[in-house]
């Protein structure tokens, strides 16, 4: 299977995108199709042995649209830039069309309405003898408007003749009917003037629809202009990410610094990063120290301190100091490039909730054309004039708005995923974003997720109260060991500026501990087995050690000579935000479960500390997935939060897999959502974002349906007999334009979303 992307032009509404989706889905070997009306793109997953790029392009082209192969999204931002350029080009074209339409449309409106409202007009436009001048001038003013907006007619009529009418078809029929009727009226006026039939001249000169045709095109172009401007803002997040990538970097080669393009950087290059520079690659600091601003990627406002051995990410900014970085990931493999890819794919995907709009769009436009025809026929049968019936029919065609239906979901998805990316929350697909709002159980892994992932010293208990002496002896011994607990003790000693003493005769005692000579005295450190081997009584420290073990802590005994001098306990420390994050989830109505392979005592200790009461412990990595399945069989929508390799199956099995950004690559690949920051509050944050996006989509869909349910009967004149309400084609065009603008503007409110 391959996954390729196409640009599809000529789509004007959800009826178009639904038709493109349908015809491509029917091709042999096509597994899935996602057509994005907002971005004018289509992503197709298919079997290359059964279909190819040419077949897909030809299928779309034969349907009256234009498909162009883009390939997979280029992570360097090339295609994303092309999409941005396309959006700018569309906006510029609409701006030109709007200006031309206004220059000729406003005088047309003034001229046609001047007699009705007593506005001052030239003498040449007054009186029956000048009727032909009056009407023909309107026709001349209309022609430039039709010319600059001819795409409505070209696309609309082409789609109509191919049997897949769209929004442009409605505009073309409505505006075209008004124009053709006006031309017919010119001939009738000419005939009346030539034959002295003043009644015909008077009747037709007052029932010209050139202004309706012109204002329909002007107002809809104005609406599309506003829509394009608003849509441009929906992609600001990804555009901002793309612009974060620097164009050049300083590389040290053969001992000299040289500035090169980022495309020329290769893995292993040493980059010089000065204060104020933007990091162009993912790499490791090999020299120097600095504070680096990673807020663009993680949303974390506080700069991170970087020293030799620390990793730095592309698009982060060196705030101070001078560091040298060895490039490990370049170009399409960098963190920034992967974020751009994830956001781009998410915005191009389709949420399940959009299927309703697709189904409606498939029959919407043909139904509107039928309703418009029945409206004209109905009013003629009711005894109204042809002009009245035509006006009603045109209003029905123009007010109908499948655009709003098509934009309701993708605009909210694009803004929502973009906002999430700016906060360090990467949602891989629209489906994951939708599913997340239904989560009612959040399952957390323990090690590295709720805890920091490595042991830290929690208790120092010295026999004579001299904890500094105890730590000096312990750190001196442990410094020579590579055990994780040893690292915890040496880190604690360094933090307290405790200097280590020289050690001789160092020995590792398998299963018991370590020993060595310090200042001529034999010293040891280890577990209770070590004390037994040296025949040393633990005394009161036995109960202390047992109490610490009950709290999930590992205790080490330390001796000097034949005397026990104290114990040091270490544990995998709970993250500072863990308890607050659990409480936040509980307030959202989400049950929290701890799922770990650790022993029950350690799991219970962490559970008590963070406020989790439901704990599933001593679960083998391969069985974590089974526990997720059990929750799902109980009717729960489950989110799994993890960071390690052993979490990957559970992340994949969960309804929503959430990987902590500090986790392994395999966990991140298995997850539906990636949290770039190591902040557990973001778990509740991404669920809140999902709920906000789905609420916004529902608001948009409600408006789109409600607008048409009210607007079409009103335009058809169902309220005319009872209430005298009649909708002019011009007002119908204005209402239609505003409906799309409303939907896009409502989606833009998501840019103000806040986690807290």
List the catalytic residues: 445
- Rounded CA-CA distance 442/682 in Å is 13
Report d(CA 431, CA 572) in Å as an integer: 35
3-state secondary structure labels for all residues of 70-104: CCCCCCCCHHHHHHHHHHHHHHHHHHHHHHHHHHH
How do strand 521-526 and strand 513-518 relate by DSSP bridges? antiparallel
Q: Which residues contact 150 (CB under 8 A, 6 or more apart)?
A: none
Half-sphere exposure of 435 (CA within 13 A, CB side): 20
Q: How many CB atoms lie within 10 A of CB 726?
A: 15
Instruction: Give the pairing type, strands 656-660 and 673-675.
Output: parallel
CA–CA separation, 1 and 481 (whole Å): 50
Q: How far apart are CA 659 and CA 116, in angstroms?
A: 67
Cα separation of 24 and 37, whole Å? 15
How many Cβ atoms are within 10 Å of 724's Cβ, its own excluded? 7
Q: Do the Cβ atoms of 243 and 256 come closer than 8 Å?
A: no
- Could you tell me the two tokens for 434? 């939708």
Inter-CA distances, 367 with 17, 339, 374, 396, Å: 17, 42, 11, 11
Percentages (nearest 5) of helix, strand, coil residues in the chain: 55, 20, 25
CA distance 144 to 112: 17
Question: Can you tell me the distance from the alpha carbon of 8 to that of 41, in angstroms, rounded to the nearest whole number?
Answer: 5
Buried b or exposed e, range 600-617, using 16+ CB within 10 angstroms = eebbbbbbebbebeebbb
Rounded distance between C-alpha atoms, residue 677 and residue 300, angstroms = 7
The answer to whether 557 and 530 are in contact (CB under 8 A) is: yes
Question: Which residues face 372 on adjacent strands?
Answer: none
What does residue 592 show for φ and ψ, rounded to 5 degrees? Answer: -110, 130
Beta bridge partners of 324: 272, 287
Beginning with the edge strand found earlier in the chain, give each strand of the sheet holding 2-9 in spatial order.
30-36, 41-46, 2-9, 66-69
Q: Report long-range pairs for 146-152 (Cβ below 8 Å, ≥24 apart).
A: 146/175, 146/179, 146/213, 146/217, 148/96, 148/97, 148/100, 148/101, 149/97, 149/101, 149/217, 149/221, 152/217, 152/220
Which tokens go with 442? 């959040």
Maximum separation of any 2 CA atoms in the chain, in Å: 132
């Amino acid at each position: 299977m391959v996954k390729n992307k196409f640009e599809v032009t000529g789509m004007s509404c959800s009826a178009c995108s639904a038709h493109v989706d349908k015809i491509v889905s029917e091709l042999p070997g096509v597994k899935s199709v996602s057509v994005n009306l907002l971005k004018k793109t289509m992503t197709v997953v298919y079997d290359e042995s059964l279909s190819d790029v040419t077949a897909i392009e030809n299928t779309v082209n034969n349907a009256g649209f234009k498909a162009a192969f883009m390939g997979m999204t280029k992570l360097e931002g090339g295609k994303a830039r092309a999409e941005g350029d396309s959006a700018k080009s569309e906006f510029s074209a609409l701006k030109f069309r709007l200006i031309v339409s206004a220059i000729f449309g406003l005088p047309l409106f003034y001229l046609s309405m001047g007699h009705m409202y007593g506005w001052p007009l030239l003498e040449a436009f007054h009186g029956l003898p000048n009727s032909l001048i009056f009407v023909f001038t309107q026709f001349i003013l209309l022609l430039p408007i039709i010319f600059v907006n001819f795409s409505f007619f070209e696309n609309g009529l082409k789609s109509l003749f191919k049997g897949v009418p769209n929004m442009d078809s409605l505009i073309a029929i409505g505006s075209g009917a008004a124009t053709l009727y006006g031309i017919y009226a010119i001939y009738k006026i000419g005939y009346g003037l030539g034959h002295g039939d003043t009644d015909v001249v008077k009747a037709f000169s007052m029932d010209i629809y050139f202004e309706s045709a012109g204002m329909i095109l002007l107002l809809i172009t104005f609406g599309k202009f506003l829509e394009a401007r608003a849509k441009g803002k929906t992609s600001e997040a990804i555009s901002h990410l793309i612009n974060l990538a620097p164009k050049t970097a300083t590389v040290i080669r053969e001992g000299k610094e040289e500035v090169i393009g980022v495309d020329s950087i290769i893995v292993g290059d040493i980059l010089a990063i000065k204060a104020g520079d933007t990091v162009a690659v993912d790499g490791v600091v090999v020299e120097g120290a600095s504070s680096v601003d990673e807020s663009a990627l993680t949303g974390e406002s506080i700069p991170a301190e970087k020293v030799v051995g620390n990793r730095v990410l592309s698009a982060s900014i060196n705030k101070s100091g001078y560091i040298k970085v060895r490039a490990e990931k370049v170009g399409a493999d960098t963190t920034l490039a992967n974020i751009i890819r994830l956001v781009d794919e998410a915005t191009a995907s389709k949420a399940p909730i959009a299927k309703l709009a697709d189904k409606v769009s498939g029959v919407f436009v043909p139904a509107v054309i039928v309703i418009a025809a029945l409206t004209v026929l109905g009013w003629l049968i009711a005894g109204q004039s042809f002009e009245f019936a035509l006006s009603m029919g045109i209003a029905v065609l123009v007010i109908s708005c499948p655009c709003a239906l098509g934009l309701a979901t993708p605009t909210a998805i694009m803004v929502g995923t973009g906002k999430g990316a700016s906060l360090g929350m990467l949602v891989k697909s629209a489906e994951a974003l939708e599913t997340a709002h239904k989560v009612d159980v959040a399952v957390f892994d323990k090690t590295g997720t709720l805890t920091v992932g490595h042991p830290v010293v929690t208790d120092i208990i010295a026999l004579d109260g001299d904890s500094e002496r105890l730590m000096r002896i312990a750190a001196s011994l442990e410094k020579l060991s590579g055990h994780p607990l040893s690292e915890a003790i040496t880190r604690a000693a360094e933090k307290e500026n405790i200097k280590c003493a020289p050690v001789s005769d160092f020995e590792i005692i398998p299963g018991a501990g370590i020993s060595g000579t310090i200042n001529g005295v034999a010293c040891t450190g280890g577990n209770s087995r070590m004390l037994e081997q040296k025949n040393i009584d633990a005394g009161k420290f036995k109960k202390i050690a047992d109490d610490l073990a009950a709290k999930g802590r590992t205790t080490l005994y330390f001796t000097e000579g034949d005397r026990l001098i104290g114990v040091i306990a270490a544990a995998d420390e709970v993250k500072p935000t863990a308890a607050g994050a659990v409480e936040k989830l509980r307030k959202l109505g989400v049950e929290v479960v701890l799922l770990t392979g650790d022993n029950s005592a350690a799991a219970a200790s962490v559970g008590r500390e963070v406020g989790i009461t439901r704990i599933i412990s001593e679960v083998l990595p391969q069985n974590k997935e089974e526990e997720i399945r059990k929750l799902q069989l109980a009717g729960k929508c489950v989110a799994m939060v993890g960071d390690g390799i052993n979490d990957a199956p559970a992340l994949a099995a969960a309804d929503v897999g959430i990987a902590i950004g500090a986790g392994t690559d395999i966990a991140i690949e298995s997850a539906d959502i990636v949290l770039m920051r190591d902040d557990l509050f973001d778990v509740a944050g991404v669920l809140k974002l999902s709920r906000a996006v789905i609420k916004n989509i529902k608001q948009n869909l409600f408006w789109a349906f409600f607008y048409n349910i009210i607007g079409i009967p009103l335009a058809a004149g169902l309220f005319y007999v009872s209430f005298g309400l009649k909708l002019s084609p011009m007002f119908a065009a204005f209402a239609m334009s505003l409906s799309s603008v409303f939907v896009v503007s409502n989606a833009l409110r998501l840019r103000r979303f806040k986690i807290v």
